[in-house]
Structure 1
């Protein structure tokens, strides 16, 4: 039977972002973020606390990208992730002492991984804004450090556009395909559940038929002895006929929830008639169980006479109706689309 545990049905699941392997890769990346920070501090001889803060912020961003479950990412989270790169880059390169060391812009270079995953998580606009703002910070840095204006700094950061361009293409091609993949998977799972339900019901009906065959054999053998039938045997034959009719005409109502109450009603002499004109297998398991429990209650209330149980075709305002006629009264019950008792009435019979 297919498990009922809810699994993610978004890009996180498609890329395995909810797996231990993804966590291991994230840990490796977060450890790697510290390396350029150490090199930058050693080369410039400053920006100790700025680099430390940047590393910690980037660690938080990496964890957030992997663990936030909503897809696409929430707006607030996306905005904070977007601003982390330009703000942290400015914190490192625009605070004195200024340095024209080429790797001083390490905060922008290592963050490109975060920006690509921002695209993957469905926030391409925020990723493009993030790298655009970061380019602006680098342009200011190259200008104030006397490197000949903003262009040299932009050229240094330009290779970062390559990964972002690829992730942008991913966002506009693979993400829509992922939605279709999970929609198809959901349809397949639903079809498999229906097949399993049908097979389970078929097995239950087969078991019921074998039990009826075993119960009918002594009655058939009694016919061969020509000893006749007393009232008890006649009621037993009528009960067997009712059960067989239920299997043939009301198979959806032949269930372990209903069977004991139906058998008890037949033993009391109630004529039980079941007609399955709907498709109970299409119902949610909880709704179906609630409906069958309600029908069992109606069967338990029938003391004599006749009870007719009928499921209705899909598209109606109810799932099933029950009509019980006893000594001097007629009781009607209707069950709603959630399997609940929708309405009931009792009137004197003519």
Structure 2
């Protein structure tokens, strides 16, 4: 049995006990018993309606103004407010003046307090306090303020106030729980991101060592006196190392092969990953790499500059320039200008 079911059963049992006291007038004076017979069932029906309203609704039901966070619809709250006014006046009207402070009459003070406590728990604070105030005024007019306070009105006020404080504490706890869950989720995402970056860096270091390790070892052995073929391999190793560090998202086996082939043809290739590819899925990246490999395969410029782009439509820009010497200048002519779209 759920906590809500247990609390509902306790609420029904308690309100039934309070109402049952209204039938035990014994030798007390009751001028209009029919009024009592009508008022007590009205109280129980409305009270139990506030207890069980919405119990059968599933958690998957869409939130509306009437069921959000277990709240009651406006008409149920208004009906409970009417009961808080009608039932005390009816009971005290039906009982003779000399018996209005007897338990079979004053049960209504606790009864209304219990009903307004339920309304408070079911997210109707304004109705709860309004009902309690109206009932308190009505009862005080019949038996006086001090007797009303002494016979249960103080307790009813305490019940409703305690219910409001409890709901406030529960709401704060729920907000803190949601916030904690969000922080835990963010921490987990950050940890996963860091783990992914660490794995990526390890892979890049391993590839760099594979690319540059042999020629570095040969350079150390010869004291830098490399043969022309070894110098070419050193330049290729340097290019592979720069590619792995500067543009890892653009690389796959085919692109690496075409980059090395372009450098062996004498093309100076520079890759720069300046962002813009982070939100692309792997199939989109694969299509971009395939197009880049095709462009590299047919490139003949002296220099190639490959840049990623944060532009919303362009993913990669490839510029091919030709000129004399090892450095670019404003006089170099642009032979190639290709843009790879983000969508394929």
TM-score (norm: length of structure 2): 0.58
Structure 2: state its 5+ residue gaps: 24-36, 96-103, 322-334
Cα distance in 1 between the residues matched to 2:64 and 2:237 = 57
Cα distance change on mapping 1:38 and 1:88 into 2, 3 Å:
same
The 5 Å alignment of 1:12-91 reads 24-45=2-23, 46=37, 47-48=40-41, 50-60=43-53, 77=72, 79=74, 82-83=77-78, 85-89=80-84
**1:159-204: per-residue Cα shift (whole Å, max 9, x none)?**
2333544565678899679768865874675355334312321212
Contact 1:205 1:247 in 2 (8 A): no
In structure 2, the residue corresponding to 1:324 is in which secondary structure?
Answer: strand
Cα distance change on mapping 1:167 and 1:58 into 2, 3 Å:
closer
Q: 2:306 aligns with which of 295, 305, 308?
A: 308
Indicate the residue corresponding to 1:207 in structure 2.
203
Q: 1:248 aligns with which of 245, 257, 279?
A: 245
Q: 1:323 aligns with which of 317, 320, 324?
A: 317
1:332 aligns with 2:339: yes
**1:224-283: per-residue Cα shift (whole Å, max 9, x none)?**
7989749xx96x866654442134334xxx35x8545643543664876443445x8xxx
Structure 1: state its 5+ residue gaps: 1-22, 281-286, 335-339, 345-350
The 5 Å alignment of 1:1-350 reads 24-45=2-23, 46=37, 47-48=40-41, 50-60=43-53, 77=72, 79=74, 82-83=77-78, 85-89=80-84, 93=88, 98=94, 100-117=104-121, 126-137=124-135, 139-140=137-138, 147-148=142-143, 152-153=147-148, 156-165=152-161, 186=182, 189-190=185-186, 193-214=189-210, 216=212, 229=229, 240-250=237-247, 254-255=248-249, 259-260=252-253, 262-263=255-256, 265-266=258-259, 269=262, 273-278=270-275, 288-290=278-280, 294-302=284-292, 303=294, 304=296, 305=299, 306=304, 308-310=306-308, 322-325=316-319, 329-333=336-340
In structure 2, the residue corresponding to 1:32 is in which secondary structure?
Answer: helix
In structure 2, the residue corresponding to 1:308 is in which secondary structure?
Answer: strand
Indicate the residue corresponding to 2:100 in structure 1.
none
| CA-CA distance at 1:150 after TM superposition | 6.7
| CA-CA distance at 1:309 after TM superposition | 2.5
In structure 2, the residue corresponding to 1:101 is in which secondary structure?
Answer: helix
Contact 1:323 1:330 in 2 (8 A): yes
Contact 1:85 1:107 in 2 (8 A): no
Cα distance in 2 between the residues matched to 1:199 and 1:187 = 18
In structure 2, the residue corresponding to 1:290 is in which secondary structure?
Answer: coil
Cα distance change on mapping 1:102 and 1:268 into 2, 3 Å:
farther
In structure 2, the residue corresponding to 1:323 is in which secondary structure?
Answer: strand
**Count of aligned positions:** 287
Cα distance in 1 between the residues matched to 2:284 and 2:155 = 68
Cα distance in 2 between the residues matched to 1:308 and 1:182 = 45
Contact 2:84 2:112 in 1 (8 A): yes
TM-score (norm: length of structure 1): 0.57
In structure 1, the residue corresponding to 2:186 is in which secondary structure?
Answer: helix
Contact 2:43 2:87 in 1 (8 A): yes
RMSD: 5.1
Pair member with larger Rg: 2
Indicate the residue corresponding to 1:337 in structure 2.
none
| CA-CA distance at 1:288 after TM superposition | 2.9
